[in-house]
Amino acid sequence: MAHPQPDTIDPLHLQVSELFYSIQGESTFAGYPCAFIRLAGCNLRCSYCDARYTYEEPFRPLQLNEIINFTEKYPAALVQITGGEPLIQQGTYPLLEKLLLAGRLVLLETNGSISLKDVPDDVVKIMDFKCPGSGMSEKMHVANLKMLSPADELKFVISSRGDYEWAVNCLYDHIPDVNNPVHIKNRVKVLFSPVTGALDQSELAQWILDDGLLVRLQLQLHTILWPAKTRGF
Strand-by-strand arrangement of the 216-217 sheet? 60-63, 13-23, 33-39, 78-82, 106-110, 124-128, 153-158, 189-194, 216-217
Question: Which C-beta is closer to ligand SF4: that of 58 or that of 176?
Answer: 58
Smallest separation (angstroms) from ligand SF4 to the CB of 153 = 15
- What secondary structure letter does DSSP report for 146? G
If one asks whether residue 42 binds ligand SF4 (CB under 6 A), the answer comes out as yes
If one asks whether residue 25 binds ligand SF4 (CB under 6 A), the answer comes out as no
If one asks whether residue 231 binds ligand SF4 (CB under 6 A), the answer comes out as no
Smallest separation (angstroms) from ligand SF4 to the CB of 51 = 4
If one asks whether residue 111 binds ligand SF4 (CB under 6 A), the answer comes out as yes
**In terms of C-beta distances under 8 Å and separation of at least 24 residues, what long-range contacts does 134-142 make, across chains too?**
134/44, 134/46, 134/47, 134/48, 134/159, 135/45, 135/46, 135/47, 136/44, 136/45, 136/46, 136/111, 137/166, 139/43, 139/44, 139/113, 140/112, 140/113, 141/112, 141/113, 141/114, 141/115, 142/174
If one asks whether residue 124 binds ligand SF4 (CB under 6 A), the answer comes out as no
- Containing H/E element for 163? helix 161-174
Q: Which of 16, 35, 40, 46 binds ligand SF4 (CB under 6 A)?
A: 46
The piece of 45-53, 163-171, 199-207, 224-232 that touches ligand SF4 (CB under 6 A) is 45-53
If one asks whether residue 159 binds ligand SF4 (CB under 6 A), the answer comes out as no
The piece of 14-22, 38-46, 91-99, 115-123 that touches ligand SF4 (CB under 6 A) is 38-46
Site residues for ligand SF4, 161-180, by CB under 6 A, read: none
Site residues for ligand SF4, 70-89, by CB under 6 A, read: 83-85
SS3 139: helix
Q: Which of 34, 51, 81, 108 binds ligand SF4 (CB under 6 A)?
A: 51
Give the C-alpha separation, 51 to 40, whole Å.
10
Smallest separation (angstroms) from ligand SF4 to the CB of 86 = 10
- Containing H/E element for 203? helix 201-211
Give the footprint of ligand SF4 on this chain (CB under 6 A).
Answer: 42, 44-46, 49, 51, 54, 83-85, 111
